[in-house]
């Protein structure tokens, strides 16, 4: 067996042992197809006030500018689909990815373990781990390495498991055997475009971030524009509509990551509980959670906006 192939298999086996859903490999280099798309998206101001999206344009498109002598992008998926969801159908909703502990920390530590494994079993391999926290086009790399296709909702979709997973990368200076892109299986389906409450999916695979409920409830620091009133479908943090309606997500299976289990009280809270939430309850229910990003005042703003 060729050494590159052998190393690739070793890494994939360890990724599976660490609980990753799947692992794919691409050759590190400039993302030619993505460059004009990203440029157009930014020109159209689809990032709203997420000004950080304008930074590091060249690094976003070329991992060799992020990691010295980068040779391979190892893309990994980690399931977060919950076994149970919020009980009260009237309660304001939280995106499923934020039920448990902050994924940045959970997955980062697994990536570090994977890197340690590489050092111990392959040798001196330099690299960096990324979990949605640096200028890396996660979905483009995951699609390039055959982990799924980019759906019309601009999310990565996998036939066997749907799309409720996190994407992470290990960019390393080791040559590996690369995988190849898979085919698109959205067909004529437009479920996500039809269902988006704010019409944020402006064309297949193009989301105007500045119209997305997730943007308003998480990223936007100012008041939510009044013309959005009544359009939030009761989402107070994030939004899962374009994933919930996707036919491929009927194959989603519950994750088995205890750290992603919600605080016991979270799923039980009623509409009234949320409307009367205190700082103490917020701190307890969202200890170590990604919801901390909005802070208590932000979540309160979102809940009030839903009334």
- Given a contact cutoff of 8 angstroms between Cβ atoms, the answer to whether 53 and 47 are in contact is yes
Among the listed residues 62, 88, 132, 261, the single catalytic one is: 132
User: Where does 58-208 show beta strands of DSSP type E?
Assistant: 72-79, 93-94, 127-130, 149-150, 156-157, 165-172, 201-203, 206-207
Q: What are the CA-CA distances from residue 106 to residues 16, 20, 112, 192, 229 (Å)?
A: 15, 12, 10, 29, 35
Q: What are the CA-CA distances from residue 136 to residues 53, 58, 133, 179, 183 (Å)?
A: 11, 10, 8, 19, 22
- Given a contact cutoff of 8 angstroms between Cβ atoms, the answer to whether 106 and 259 are in contact is yes
* Nearest by Cα to 153 from 68, 273, 249: 249
Structure-token pair, residue 302: 């979102």
CA–CA gap between residue 114 and residue 171 (Å, rounded) = 12
User: Both ends of the chain: CA-CA distance in Å?
Assistant: 62
Active site residue 132: yes
- Given a contact cutoff of 8 angstroms between Cβ atoms, the answer to whether 266 and 246 are in contact is no
Report the DSSP beta bridge partners of residue 130. Answer: 169
Residue 285: its H or E element: helix 279-285
Q: Which of the residues are catalytic?
A: 132
């Amino acid at each position: 067996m060729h050494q590159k192939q052998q190393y690739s298999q070793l890494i994939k086996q360890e990724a599976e042992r660490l609980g990753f859903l799947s692992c794919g490999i691409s050759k590190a280099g400039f993302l030619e197809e993505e460059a004009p798309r990203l440029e157009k998206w930014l020109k159209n101001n689809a990032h709203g006030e997420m000004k950080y999206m304008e930074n590091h344009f060249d690094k976003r498109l070329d991992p060799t500018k992020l990691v010295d002598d980068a040779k391979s992008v190892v893309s990994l998926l980690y399931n977060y689909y919950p076994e149970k969801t919020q009980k009260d159908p009237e309660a304001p909703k939280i995106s499923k990815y934020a039920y448990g502990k902050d994924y940045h920390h959970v997955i980062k530590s697994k990536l570090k373990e994977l890197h340690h494994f590489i050092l111990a079993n392959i040798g001196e391999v330099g690299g960096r781990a990324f979990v949605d926290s640096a200028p890396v086009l996660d979905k483009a790399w995951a699609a390039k390495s055959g982990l799924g296709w980019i759906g019309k909702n601009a999310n990565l979709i996998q036939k066997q498991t749907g799309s409720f997973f996190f994407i992470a990368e290990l960019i390393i200076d080791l040559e590996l055997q690369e995988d190849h892109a898979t085919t698109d299986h959205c067909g004529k389906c437009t479920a996500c475009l039809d269902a988006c409450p704010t019409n944020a999916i402006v064309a297949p695979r193009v989301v105007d971030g500045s119209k997305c409920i997730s943007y308003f409830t998480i990223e936007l620091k100012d008041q939510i524009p009044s013309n959005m009133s009544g359009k939030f479908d009761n989402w107070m943090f994030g939004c899962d509509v374009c994933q919930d309606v996707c036919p491929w997500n009927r194959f989603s299976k519950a994750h088995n990551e205890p750290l992603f289990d919600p605080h016991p009280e979270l799923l039980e809270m009623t509409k009234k509980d949320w409307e009367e939430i205190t700082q103490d309850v917020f701190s307890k229910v969202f200890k170590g959670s990604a919801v901390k990003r909005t802070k208590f005042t932000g979540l309160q703003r979102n809940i009030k906006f839903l009334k």
